[in-house]
């Protein structure tokens, strides 16, 4: 196997992942626009729906964005009445985030829309293909993550 063919295969895959991400993200934005949420705002609401009372820093770390981004994103969500900051009883520096009932309702609606869209789009592959793809992607993610830790 010639080195060149390997090289272009790697570049080709990188390009494919990039293109697919752009297409998926574009679809996500369209679907979520119905709820007036950006993908990142939706991600925060989802995290809170899964586990209430989380701290801003934790969510930021999970979503790979800096703290100030979360601060201002939560400012927006709070101004829209979707979440509420409450002081952490154990640490007076920290803020715990709670979903309001409006926030919960919107998150439920957004999740339904989003999940349906994702299922439809990922369903463009056969179930068997999906399973193989998931396995390979899982391995790639794990290795990339380790690679990042090693080289950071």
Partner DNA sequence: TATACTTACTTGCACTTGCAACTATTGCAC
Partner DNA sequence: GTGCAATAGTTGCAAGTGCAAGTAAGTATA
Beta-bridge partners for 99? 83
Chain centre to alpha carbon of residue 48: 13
Q: Which of DNA, a copy of itself, none interacts with 46 (beta carbon under 5 to 8 A by kind)?
A: none
- Of 5-13, 52-60, 93-101, 102-110, which part binds a copy of itself (CB under 8 A)? 5-13
Crossing angle (nearest 10°) for helices 3-33 and 39-50: 80
- Of 50-58, 73-81, 90-98, 131-139, which part binds a copy of itself (CB under 8 A)? 131-139
CA 151 – CA 36 distance, rounded (Å)? 38
Give the one residue of 24, 27, 57, 80 binding DNA; rule: CB under 7 A: 57
Q: How many residues bind DNA (CB under 7 A)?
A: 26
Give the one residue of 56, 99, 106, 107 binding DNA; rule: CB under 7 A: 56
Complex with DNA: residue 26 or 138, whichever CB lies closer: 26
Q: What part of residues 72-101 is at the interface with DNA (CB under 7 A)?
A: 72-76, 85, 88, 91-95
Q: Does 105 bind a copy of itself (CB under 8 A)?
A: no
Cβ atoms of 65 and 38 within 8 Å: the answer is no
Q: Is 65 helix (H, G, I), strand (E, B) or coil?
A: coil
4-33 burial, b at 16+ Cβ within 10 Å, e below that, comes to eeeeeeeeeeeeeeeeeeeeeeeebeebbe
Give the one residue of 11, 33, 61, 112 binding a copy of itself; rule: CB under 8 A: 11
Per CB under 7 A, residues contacting DNA are 38, 40, 55-58, 64-76, 85, 88, 91-95
């Amino acid at each position: 196997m010639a080195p060149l063919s390997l090289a272009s295969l790697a570049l080709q895959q990188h390009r494919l992942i990039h293109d697919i991400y752009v297409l998926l993200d574009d679809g996500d934005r369209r679907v979520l626009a119905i709820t007036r949420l950006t993908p990142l705002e939706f991600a925060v609401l989802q995290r809170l729906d899964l586990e209430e009372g989380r701290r801003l820093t934790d969510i930021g770390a999970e979503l790979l964005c800096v703290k100030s981004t979360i601060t201002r994103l939560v400012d927006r969500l709070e101004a829209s009445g979707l979440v509420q900051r409450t002081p952490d009883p154990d640490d007076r520096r920290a803020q715990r985030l709670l979903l309001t009932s409006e926030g919960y309702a919107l998150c439920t609606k957004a999740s339904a829309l989003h999940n349906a869209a994702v299922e439809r789009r990922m369903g463009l592959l056969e179930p068997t293909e999906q399973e193989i793809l998931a396995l390979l992607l899982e391995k790639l993610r794990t290795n990339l993550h380790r690679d990042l830790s090693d080289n950071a």
